[in-house]
Amino acid sequence: MEHKNFLQEGGWKSWFVTLDHKKIGVMYLFTTLLFFAIGGIFSTLIRYELWTPEATFAKDLYNKFFTFHGAIMIFMFIIPGIPAALGNIFLPMMIGAKDVAFPRLNLGSYYIFIAGALLAASAIVFGGVDTGWTFYAPYSIKTQTAVILVTMGAFVMGFSSILTGLNFIVTTHKLRCPGMTVYKMPLFIWAIYATAIIQVLATPVIAITLLLLVMERVFQVGIFDASLGGDPILFQHFFWFYSHPAVYIMILPGMGIVSEVIAVFSRKHIFGYKAIAYSSLAIAFISFLVWGHHMFVSGQSAWANFLFSILTMLVAVPTAIKIFNWTATLYKGSIVLKTPMLYALSFIFLFTIGGLTGLFLAAVSVDVHLHDTYFVVAHFHYVMVGGTVIALFAGLHYWWPKIFGRMYSELIGRISWFFIFVGFNMTFLPMFWLGRQGMPRRYATYEPMYEGLHKLATLGSWVLNVGLILMFGGLLWSLFKGKKAGNNPWGGKTLEWHTESPPTVDNFYEIPTITEGPYEYGVKK
């Protein structure tokens, strides 16, 4: 064949200066998965410490472990994970474009991300940091650890996030192929688009916040530090004004993947296309108005608690609409439980638990009891891991044949799914009861009454680890030994399946023209 695929083109050196969105996406994919592994090692150490009520490591070491776990997973894995890796590869392909709107900016974003990540990771060498990923003032001002390195790292990575978001917004607006009206866009594109808007609008706020924190540490300007006349609660307002929308930066792309996978593997038109698309935008909008629910017991005004509680409850509506629509898509379908579908269905299972437990925390009086306990830890992990990470795994298996031209092993895929699903629930389900019984979070040592549930959770984390190692091992194995994949192994209707596997550098031999929507499955009456 005269056209080489994008992986073969140019030799290994070309990767460093490539402008090809697919190569950049693959680099993001491996970088973020590497950080996922590092963050995972820290989480295993956390669970190891909590095996017994007494301190196993020095307590300050434990505090650094949970800080690294949180900061690495949030800033270096989940936020860039789906949009910058899978989004980069599939946004142009799914809208019938050759590349993103600004390929150079795209490469620049990657290097900015790497620079920020290295800056933050260098804190491991320079004494670590022990503030938790939330950097609450005034502790983050008073601690003697390397707060500045990590906050500056997150600051730099923020620019990568903003630029990627900008790139995606312009790409979605300007580069759709002929015939692709907004309502013919795949739902993954809607999700990525909603995410990009939040990235561009919210990230500057965290940038300012982190910069102020650094100024506070270096020059003692007195914005957050009460002993200098500042207000520590102000930091929380700034921080959550970004970090709450950021939670939706993390979950929306996952929802996009699930919409694709469920339609393809049940051979059905997605149920309620517009409802799903607009609920993404609704969630993106409401996400800016709920940050105060992180501060119900901070001493902020009762009136603020009233508003933030009622607004938070509203998030339940668009979220439930999505869950309802995915489930309804299965109705009268022809369902096949390949690995991506197993993950997509697990997503519904786990994310429903994550969403419902959010109701407990949105009700102010119940939150007074559950705030800052393991209930919150469990809820957050059900949304972020049970939701986002599981969706990422669905997408990874779903698009693996397209990216690399090889099939993953279905057997290993299913076995590892089983371990991950069981291990995850074993780790995090007990935490709801821990929190219910009052176990506060970020405790290196704990009262003996909590020991049984902690032991169960630690055992679960090992089961989960077995599944993860098996899954990544299987995927890497398939790169060399996997069966050659056809161009469209799942019978998908979206445009990426009309390219070669792996795609050629320009994706399409000629720019396609669209006449029908992305989910035209089934017999029309």
Q: How far is the CB of 484 from other proteins (least distance, A)?
A: 23
Sign of CA dihedral 487, 489, 491, 493: negative
Sign of CA dihedral 393, 482, 260, 21: positive
Binds other proteins by CB under 8 A, chosen from 48, 288, 418, 443: 443
Q: How far is the CB of 357 from other proteins (least distance, A)?
A: 7
Contacting other proteins within 113-132 (CB under 8 A): 127, 130-132
228 forms part of the interface with other proteins (CB under 8 A): yes
372 forms part of the interface with other proteins (CB under 8 A): yes
What 8-state DSSP symbol labels residue 127?
T
Identify which range of 30-38, 286-294, 308-316, 495-503 contacts other proteins by CB under 8 A: 308-316
483 forms part of the interface with other proteins (CB under 8 A): no
371 forms part of the interface with other proteins (CB under 8 A): yes
Residue (159 or 351) nearer to other proteins, CB: 351
Q: How far is the CB of 302 from other proteins (least distance, A)?
A: 5
Distance CA 76, CA 186 (A): 27
Sign of CA dihedral 272, 276, 282, 286: positive
Residue (278 or 472) nearer to other proteins, CB: 278
Contacting other proteins within 392-421 (CB under 8 A): none
Q: How many residues bind other proteins (CB under 8 A)?
A: 102
Identify which range of 25-33, 237-245, 367-375, 404-412 contacts other proteins by CB under 8 A: 367-375
Q: At what angle do helices 232-265 and 273-286 cross, to 10 degrees?
A: 170
Binds other proteins by CB under 8 A, chosen from 1, 11, 104, 229: 229
Binds other proteins by CB under 8 A, chosen from 324, 418, 462, 477: 324
Angle at 288 between CA 286 and CA 290, to 5 degrees: 75
Residue (9 or 372) nearer to other proteins, CB: 372
CA-atom Rg of the chain in angstroms: 23
Contacting other proteins within 270-299 (CB under 8 A): 271-275, 297-299
Which residue has tokens 């102020």? Answer: 212
Q: How far is the CB of 384 from other proteins (least distance, A)?
A: 19
458 forms part of the interface with other proteins (CB under 8 A): no
Residue (204 or 438) nearer to other proteins, CB: 438
442 forms part of the interface with other proteins (CB under 8 A): yes
204 forms part of the interface with other proteins (CB under 8 A): no
- Class of residue 332 by CB neighbours under 10 A (exposed 0-12, middle 13-18, buried 19+): exposed
Distance CA 15, CA 4 (A): 15
Identify which range of 15-23, 87-95, 368-376, 465-473 contacts other proteins by CB under 8 A: 368-376
In three-state secondary structure terms, 270 is coil
489 forms part of the interface with other proteins (CB under 8 A): no
CB neighbours (10 Å) of residue 229? 9
Q: How far is the CB of 437 from other proteins (least distance, A)?
A: 5
- What residues contact 155, with CB distance under 8 A and at least 6 apart? 116, 206, 207, 210, 211, 214
Cis peptide before 53 (omega within 30 of 0): no
Contacting other proteins within 347-366 (CB under 8 A): 348-349, 352-353, 356-357, 359-360, 362-366
515 forms part of the interface with other proteins (CB under 8 A): no
Residue (170 or 215) nearer to other proteins, CB: 215
Q: How far is the CB of 208 from other proteins (least distance, A)?
A: 21
Contacting other proteins within 64-123 (CB under 8 A): none
Phi, psi of 176 (to 5 degrees): -70, 140
Distance CA 133, CA 442 (A): 11
Asked if 68 and 457 count as a contact pair (C-beta separation under 8 A), the reply is no
Asked if 115 and 192 count as a contact pair (C-beta separation under 8 A), the reply is no
What would the two tokens of residue 512 be?
Answer: 């396609």
Residue (226 or 476) nearer to other proteins, CB: 226
Helix (H) or strand (E) holding 50: none
Asked if 47 and 457 count as a contact pair (C-beta separation under 8 A), the reply is yes
Binds other proteins by CB under 8 A, chosen from 182, 317, 411, 476: 317
Residue (38 or 320) nearer to other proteins, CB: 320
What would the two tokens of residue 185 be?
Answer: 């866009």
465 forms part of the interface with other proteins (CB under 8 A): no
